[in-house]
Amino acid sequence: MGLADQWDRVVRSLPEGWHEVALRLVMPDEGQRDRAAALLGPLAPGRVREHIRFVVSRDSGIGPNAARRLLANLDEEGIRGTLILGGQVAREAETEPARAPFVTQWDSLVAALPDDWSDLLCRVTLASSDDVPRAALLAAPVNPSRPNREVGFEFRVARQAGYGASPQMTRRCLARMDEDGIPGTVETLRALSDTQHAATQGPVWYVGGNVL
């Protein structure tokens, strides 16, 4: 089945009043994947291994009909793949504001901290559990942990010394998640100021019986 026909099938399966949908185009052939990403350029696709991700919104310039035409262009070039729903379907009635990029959230978070902050315990919450493995890989330098098995992970930040990633490394890891098109939020769970490390690697937090 061609990609335009697959798109028609996806549209028929969507709930009435759908507003926005995230999709993944699975393409094992790397050569075709490069060409497909180029042809789908107006959709601002993201690439994760064999997947090409994009979003179709009824409010955007690239709506359902335009998306179908772009997929038909792939069919005309003999490009084959499997189109699947890649995330939640937003309805028109939903009023949740669009999430800011992780880097923007991080910059706002740091700007709100006191001037003498020294240690943070932070949490990243992802929009989809599908993104947990990839996000954890991209954020590996901050040593992510999942003490509560939530859809996301926690990590520590050390401003000057001690246990935790530096603020610069933290920002870079969050930027990598933005570049990969992974949506979510970052927040501060605990913050300390002007800690003095006496033969230790920094403070210890006990949260829910776990040492963090």
Tell me whether residue 97 is in a domain: no
**CB distance 118 to 195 below 8 Å:** yes
Query: Do both 106 and 188 map to the same domain?
Result: yes
Tell me whether residue 96 is in a domain: no
Query: Do both 125 and 179 map to the same domain?
Result: yes
**CB distance 115 to 106 below 8 Å:** no
Tell me whether residue 201 is in a domain: no
pLDDT tens by residue, 29-80: 888 888 888 888 888 888 777 888 888 887 766 788 888 999 999 999 898 8
Query: Do both 53 and 124 map to the same domain?
Result: no
Query: Do both 146 and 173 map to the same domain?
Result: yes
How many angstroms separate the CA atoms of 43 and 176, rounded?
Answer: 20
Query: Do both 170 and 127 map to the same domain?
Result: yes
Domain ranges, residue 40: 3-91
Residues in CB range of 39: below 8 A, 6 or more apart: 70, 73, 74, 77, 79
Query: Do both 120 and 164 map to the same domain?
Result: yes
pLDDT tens by residue, 94-139: 444 567 899 999 999 999 988 888 889 999 999 888 889 999 999 9
How many angstroms separate the CA atoms of 172 and 86, rounded?
Answer: 25
pLDDT confidence of residue 93: 44
**Domain total for the chain?**
2
Query: Do both 106 and 192 map to the same domain?
Result: yes
Final residue of a domain: which of 91, 115, 141? 91
What is the CATH number for 161?
3.30.70
Final residue of a domain: which of 48, 63, 91? 91
Query: Do both 16 and 71 map to the same domain?
Result: yes
Tell me whether residue 161 is in a domain: yes
Tell me whether residue 164 is in a domain: yes
pLDDT tens by residue, 155-171: 999 987 777 899 999 99
Final residue of a domain: which of 39, 63, 91? 91
Tell me whether residue 205 is in a domain: no
Tell me whether residue 206 is in a domain: no
Query: Which alpha helices (DSSP H) does 43-166 contain, by range?
Result: 64-76, 102-111, 132-138
How many angstroms separate the CA atoms of 206 and 63, rounded?
Answer: 48
Query: Residue 113 corresponds to which tokens in the numbers above?
Result: 């901290």
Query: Do both 108 and 64 map to the same domain?
Result: no
Tell me whether residue 62 is in a domain: yes
In three-state secondary structure terms, 13 is: helix
What is the CATH number for 76?
3.30.70.790
